[in-house]
């Protein structure tokens, strides 16, 4: 029997399920098709459970430094199985939360593999058999998966993707992390804090290469101080696994090759979109050079009635971008006039130790775009709250257009900067200039005062330095 809807959404990650809720609010009869877990990778295997792991590592790190706060803690140890169990519990709680939201908003959930067989029609293979759904509009929100290296296929034993790293069969003693984007650096930070000997190999000339160069340099220095080995401008040429470990041939920045022994490897070299079984070729939906789906400002593909959002489309590949795109697509479908996404106003966060957060243009990109810039920089060590917290590592950098005062970008490294960045994101969305930021009253004592001082520094008005 065919079931008819106003909207069908393939995928229930942070893009898909948010789109479904907004569609329900606008009166659209909606079905969501999911092949694995409601909430997608983000809630079940990505953003949320990794933050639970990192929180455990942060607490463990603080326990080991209890004496710095006038406290005593003896016989400190970590139970990796218990840490993982807590992380999985957090993921399961949120999965149930999304299930409840679907019921509350009267959204039909069809569990199975969905494929668009023609415009307006989706075939779903479920455990009970095949189902056919029809709708005038369809949103593709099937996300992405970890990219493999051809010579380092993940086996879950010695070579891991992020999924294996979240439910490890054992604690790695000597860990190789290939790739220093957000995923690679977060796992490097977690396992380093938990006691593993960690080496990070990055083919670019600096780690977290999408960030401002000053942030990259500061993070590398900090991670090395924590005991990590960082190899930039380097590449892993081959990997051999055995029952005892991994042997990796690494070529350093000078072209010298050497063999290194590790217990485990995490491959974090990017993602590839889940598009193979959706039905793109049959419909003539256009991909880009990386096989992500091309969309316009309203998330429309080149085929009428078919939209795409989230990691299956172009970057940045972030959960909050997917959610916002879901709202844009649904409001466009409902006949509204939503604001188009501005990628320069999308914040990025990396939850390593210390944390990184940024929004807008780096100093280098601002100059390359033709801007004459004013740059402010203020360190955590100059902030009273940071000193009281014992978190004096880091700084905040702001980039302005010298002619107009427009806030072009903000870049942070330090404690809780992933919570602070939204202040600058709101400012950019409101098209603020330095005047509004300088005239804003920041509460004392807070870390947010570092934001204010960074702005003041750009205009030679810094107060506490």
Q: What percent of the chain has pLDDT over 90?
A: 95
State the pLDDT at residue 346: 97
For residue 290, name the pLDDT band (cuts at 50, 70, 90).
Answer: confident
Average pLDDT estimate for 182-209: 97
As a whole number, mean pLDDT of residues 30-34 equals 98
Please tell me the predicted confidence (pLDDT) of residue 1: 73
Q: Is 444 a catalytic residue?
A: yes
199 pLDDT higher than 90:
yes
Q: What is the mean pLDDT of the chain?
A: 96
Written as six digits, the tokens of 258 are 């050497």
pLDDT band at 434 (very low <50, low <70, confident <90, very high): very high
Residue-level pLDDT at 300: 97
Predicted local confidence at residue 288, as pLDDT: 86
**Tens digits of residue pLDDT in 94-141:** 999 999 999 999 999 999 999 999 999 999 999 989 999 999 999 999
Give the model's pLDDT for residue 106.
Answer: 97
The band of 219, judged by pLDDT with boundaries at 50, 70 and 90, is: very high
Mean per-residue pLDDT, 340-359? 96
Mean of pLDDT values over 82-90: 97
Residue 2 has phi, psi (to 5 degrees) of -90, 135
60: closest CA among 71, 76, 72, 49? 76
> pLDDT digit string (tens) for 1-12?
799 999 999 999
The pLDDT assigned to 428 comes to: 97
Q: Which position among 264, 324, 353, 444 bears the catalytic label?
A: 444
The pLDDT tens digits of the residues spanning 367-415 come to: 999 999 999 999 999 999 999 999 999 999 999 999 999 999 999 999 9
Tens digit of each residue's pLDDT (9 = 90 or more) over 366-375: 999 999 999 9
Q: Could you read off the pLDDT of 38-79 as tens digits, one per residue?
A: 999 999 999 999 999 999 999 999 999 999 999 999 999 999
pLDDT-derived band at 289, boundaries 50, 70, 90:
confident
d(CA 298, CA 463): 44
């Amino acid at each position: 029997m065919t079931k008819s809807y106003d909207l069908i959404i393939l995928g229930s990650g942070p893009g898909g399920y948010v789109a479904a809720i907004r569609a329900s609010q606008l009166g659209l009869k909606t079905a969501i098709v999911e092949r694995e877990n409601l909430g997608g990778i983000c809630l079940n295997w990505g953003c949320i459970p990794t933050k639970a792991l990192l929180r455990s590592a942060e607490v463990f790190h603080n326990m080991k430094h209890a004496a710095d706060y006038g406290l005593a803690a003896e016989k400190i140890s970590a139970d990796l199985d218990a840490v993982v169990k807590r992380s999985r519990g957090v993921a399961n709680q949120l999965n149930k939360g999304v299930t409840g939201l679907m019921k509350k908003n009267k959204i039909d959930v069809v569990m199975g593999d969905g494929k668009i067989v023609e415009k307006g029609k989706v075939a779903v293979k479920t455990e009970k058999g095949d189902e056919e759904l029809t709708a005038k509009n369809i949103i593709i929100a099937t996300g992405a998966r970890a990219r493999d290296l051809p010579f380092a296929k993940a086996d879950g034993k010695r070579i891991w993707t992020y999924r294996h790293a979240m439910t490890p069969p054992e604690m790695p003693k000597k860990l190789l992390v290939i790739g220093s984007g957000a995923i690679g650096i977060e796992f490097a930070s977690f396992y380093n804090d938990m006691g593993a000997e960690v080496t990070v190999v990055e083919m670019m000339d600096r780690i977290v290469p999408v960030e401002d160069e000053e942030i990259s340099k500061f993070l590398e220095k900090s991670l090395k101080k924590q005991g990590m080995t960082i190899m930039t401008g380097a590449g892993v040429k081959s990997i051999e696994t055995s029952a005892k470990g991994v042997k990796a041939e690494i070529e350093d920045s000078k072209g010298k090759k050497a063999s290194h022994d590790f217990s485990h490897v995490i491959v974090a070299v990017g993602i590839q979109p889940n598009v193979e079984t959706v039905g793109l070729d049959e419909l003539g939906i256009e991909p880009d050079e990386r096989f992500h789906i091309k969309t316009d400002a309203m998330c429309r593909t080149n085929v009428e009635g078919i939209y795409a959002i989230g990691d299956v489309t172009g970057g940045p590949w972030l959960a909050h971008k997917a959610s916002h795109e879901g709202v844009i697509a649904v409001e466009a479908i409902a006949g509204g006039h939503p604001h188009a996404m501005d990628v320069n106003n999308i914040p990025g966060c990396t939850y390593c130790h210390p944390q990184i957060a940024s929004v807008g243009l780096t100093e280098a990109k601002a100059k390359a775009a033709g801007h004459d810039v004013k740059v402010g920089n203020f360190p955590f060590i100059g902030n009273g709250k940071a000193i009281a917290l014992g978190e004096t590592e880091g700084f905040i950098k702001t980039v302005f257009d010298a002619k107009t005062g427009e806030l072009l970008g903000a870049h942070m490294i330090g404690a809780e900067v992933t919570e602070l960045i939204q202040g600058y994101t709101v400012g950019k969305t409101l098209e603020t200039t330095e005047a509004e930021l300088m005239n804003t009253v920041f509460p004392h004592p807070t870390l947010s005062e570092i934001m204010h001082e960074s702005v003041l520094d750009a205009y030679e008005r810094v107060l506490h330095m």
